[in-house]
């Protein structure tokens, strides 16, 4: 059995997106791509000026976006006619496929907004598929709880708790883990997968090898292996995300991720001539 160890520790950069929403971006900067993951943003503030502008209508093609709310509320609306409100603990897993135009606006004018958005690449054969959604309401989330930890399962399976995302091409694992001080989290991950932990708060140790201190809002890229062992040095919360690499060339153009530059140019042309939404 091969232990999973820390490969790289990444401090997110402060950035903004949409209409000035302040966030911390890790994947999508350095590293630019961690196959199959294209981007990871943490957004969060108690100052309404940092988020009130939201994310007005914008297009996507060729990717999946996974939005996970911890605090606050977002209203979603898109070109398929879908509407909804995301509440604390909710997940929206959107497969943009051939193209979708959507907006995500805060449904609040004060208070704390906190959450994550992860972009997952789609293989060439699925990039022009029909847009689709998986909604996970917080009260329907599969949860494992014992004396040492609480694991919310968005994708994959932990003990008897299983997420609703099934039959996915990258065989994703997405857990929200709360681990008590001095307790351990152990989990087996397929050796094929690329895996990262995003530490939300607290302090952790990973694997058997010594590494730099890891504390709060930090991305940790892990080595491939099988056995993941995490120890909490304080009460801790982290996201564990893993997926099977797609191993295809990618071309990026803002909200579009395809396989060639020509496909990016086609997406831009489709958007401007009104044929983007199929």
Provide the sign of the torsion angle of the four alpha carbons 129, 152, 159, 231, taken in this order: positive
Residue 1 predicted with pLDDT over 80: no
Residue range 211-219: average pLDDT?
91
CB atoms within 10 A of CB 221: 18
pLDDT digits (tens, 9 = 90+) for 29-62: 888 999 999 999 999 888 888 888 888 889 999 9
Which pLDDT band, with edges at 50, 70 and 90, does 154 fall under? Answer: very high
Measured CA angle at 81 (ends 131, 173), to 5 deg: 40
Residue 151 predicted with pLDDT over 80: yes
Domain of 108? 6-273
Assigned domain for 215 exists: yes
pLDDT value of position 255:
92
Residue 207 predicted with pLDDT over 80: yes
And the tokens for 151? 């694991």
CB atoms within 10 A of CB 229: 15
The reported pTM is: 0.95
Residue 129 CA to its chain's centroid (Å): 21
pLDDT digits (tens, 9 = 90+) for 112-143: 889 999 999 999 999 999 999 889 999 989 99
Nearest to 155 by CA among 243, 78, 51: 243
Nearest to 55 by CA among 105, 93, 114: 105
Task: Return the CATH number at 225.
Answer: 2.60.120.10
Assigned domain for 252 exists: yes
User: Residue 50 gets which letter from DSSP?
Assistant: G
Q: In the block, which residue shows the tokens 């694991």?
A: 151
Count of the separate structural domains present in the chain: 1
Residue 90 predicted with pLDDT over 90: yes
Assigned domain for 278 exists: no
And the tokens for 8? 């790289």
Assigned domain for 143 exists: yes
Assigned domain for 218 exists: yes
Assigned domain for 1 exists: no
Average pLDDT, the chain: 93
pLDDT higher at 52 or 235: 235
Provide the sign of the torsion angle of the four alpha carbons 69, 73, 77, 83, taken in this order: positive
Residue 218 CA to its chain's centroid (Å): 14
* Euclidean distance between CA atoms 145 and 213, whole angstroms: 27
* Euclidean distance between CA atoms 244 and 233, whole angstroms: 30
Output the CA–CA distances (angstroms, integers) from residue 63 to 87, 97, 195, 223, 252, in the order listed. Answer: 23, 6, 19, 24, 11
Assigned domain for 126 exists: yes
**Count of residues making up the chain:** 278
User: Residue 12 gets which letter from DSSP?
Assistant: P
């Amino acid at each position: 059995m091969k232990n999973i160890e820390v490969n790289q520790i990444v401090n997110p950069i402060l950035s903004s997106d949409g209409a000035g929403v302040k966030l911390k971006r890790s994947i999508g900067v350095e590293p630019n791509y961690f196959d199959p993951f294209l981007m990871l943003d943490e957004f969060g503030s108690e100052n309404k000026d940092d988020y009130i502008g939201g994310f007005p209508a914008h297009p996507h093609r060729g990717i999946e976006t996974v939005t996970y709310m911890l605090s606050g509320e977002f209203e979603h609306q898109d070109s398929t006619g879908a509407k909804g409100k995301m509440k604390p603990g909710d997940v929206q897993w959107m497969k943009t496929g051939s193209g979708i135009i959507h907006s995500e606006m805060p449904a609040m004018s004060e208070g704390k907004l906190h959450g994550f958005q992860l972009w997952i690449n789609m293989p060439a054969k699925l990039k022009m598929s029909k847009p689709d959604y998986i909604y996970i309401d917080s009260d329907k989330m599969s949860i494992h709880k014992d004396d040492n930890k609480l694991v919310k399962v968005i994708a994959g399976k932990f003990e008897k708790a299983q997420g609703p995302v099934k039959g996915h091409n990258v065989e994703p694992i997405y857990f929200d883990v709360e681990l008590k001080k001095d307790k351990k989290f152990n989990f087996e991950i397929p050796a094929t997968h690329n895996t990262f932990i995003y530490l939300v708060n607290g302090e952790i140790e990973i694997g058997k090898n010594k590494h730099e201190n890891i504390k709060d809002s930090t991305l940790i890229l892990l080595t491939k292996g099988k056995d993941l062992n995490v120890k909490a040095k304080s009460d801790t919360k982290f996201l564990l995300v893993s997926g099977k690499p797609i191993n295809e060339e990618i071309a990026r153009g803002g909200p579009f991720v395809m396989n060639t530059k020509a496909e990016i140019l086609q997406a831009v042309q489709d958007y401007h001539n009104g044929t983007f939404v199929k």
